[in-house]
Amino acid sequence: MKIAVLGGDGYCGWATALYLSKKGHEVAIVDNFVRRLWDHELGAQTLTPIRPLSDRLSAWHRLTGLTIESYVGDITDYEFLSTVIKNFEPEAVVHFAEQRSAPYSMIDRGHAVFTQVNNVVGTLNLLFALRELQPDCHLIKLGTMGEYGTPNIDIEEGYIAIEHNGRKDVLPFPKQPGSFYHLSKVHDSHNIMFACKIWGLRATDLNQGVVYGTITDEVALDEALINRFDYDEVFGTVLNRFCVEAVVGHPLTVYGKGGQRRGFLDIRDTVRCIEIACQNPAARHECRVYNQFTESFSIMDIAGIVQAAAKKINLAVEISHLPDPRVEAEDHYYNAKHSKLIDLGLQPHLLSDAMLDSLLKVAVKYRDRIDTSLILPSVNWRNARNNYRERAKSSPSAKPSASQMKKVGVSSD
């Protein structure tokens, strides 16, 4: 197939692009490198050193003989995006090209506005471009389990059967998003459902849990292909943060009671889920929703797992409870269905000692790059005007300049 991966220079996008290329698909990466710019804005960097995209793609071609095309630009620019769709003519579009951090969206008004404009407008542009230029293309959109929140009922996969006053219907599952970022994903979902209904587009909305791991078979081929390992309070995931804290002797930072329960999955399952969606496209007029995770853990569960894994390599790890900077239930019911991808052939990689060893080894290997000042939370949901250090005083622009894109595209971050 011809598959365009929007946001293909990012964490999930990079692993997905390599995986699909190795499977024999013709792949194009579309990216504006703004994720690299956010590292510069926040004074943070991924723990693993990431090469420029051009270097990464050259290494991929050298190692495998396979070529991945690249288009550099912003999908909020409709002229750019429509040119990509027209020239590449994708049969499937995998859409990762969004601002994905809840804390980033909660820094202040500027970051909240940027997140929603960037995410919603980019997705709207894509829907219009597909309608006008490639109406049979299958849109595979990365959503988030965070759209649902933590209701006191079982979470279905996208839709729920309702009986009210003697009448029945199947409706979108109620959404209780927890940040301006999660709200942007809800808006995306509604726009995609609407576009499928009125224009006959086909879409799969993958509500993904928290992803962990840096290694896929493709990424493991060479150091030049290494993936991101974000551990800072804004873009870092909890498992990454705990592994870094374990290595440097910092207590594991559990927010509140730590009873918050979320879905998790291995990066190897992320790329497989994308492949499954590509191989089993939605029908015209259909917007289907899959919950994309394999296991659920509370934050205290994760802390205990990391503590036990660290002990095996002679690291003494303590657990510390901090005031929760987020507005969320710290102890709640959580039972989310996630059977549809398994029914289509997903064979999950469950969180194992081997995976934890791998994550801890990455943290040990790049220990000199760890900045412990990035660990403690400073973005508070209750403060609409967070002073996120001196590094993020200015609000982000909705679109990086050509010189900014060139800078982060040709030099290491």
Catalytically active residues, by annotation: 144, 181, 185
Region of residue 158 (left: phi > 0; alpha: psi -120 to 50; beta: else): left
Amino acid letter, residue 240? N
Instruction: Give the tokens for residue 11.
Output: 């964490």
**Integer Cα distance of 235 and 225 in angstroms:** 20
Instruction: Give the tokens for residue 405.
Output: 């894109």
**Integer Cα distance of 120 and 184 in angstroms:** 6
Confirm if 215 and 27 have CB atoms less than 8 A apart.
Answer: no
Strand (E) or helix (H) holding 70: strand 69-72
**Integer Cα distance of 251 and 315 in angstroms:** 11
Strand (E) or helix (H) holding 268: helix 267-279
- Which residues lie across from 259 on neighbouring strands? 331
Confirm if 225 and 215 have CB atoms less than 8 A apart.
Answer: no
Query: Which of 175, 95, 193 has the alpha carbon at shortest distance from 142?
Result: 95
The owner of tokens 């309070």 is: 233
**C-alpha distance from residue 240 to each of 119, 213, 246 (Å):** 25, 8, 10
Name the packing angle between helices 238-248 and 353-365 (round to 10°).
Answer: 60
Task: Work out whether strand 26-31 and strand 2-6 pair parallel, antiparallel, or are unpaired.
Answer: parallel
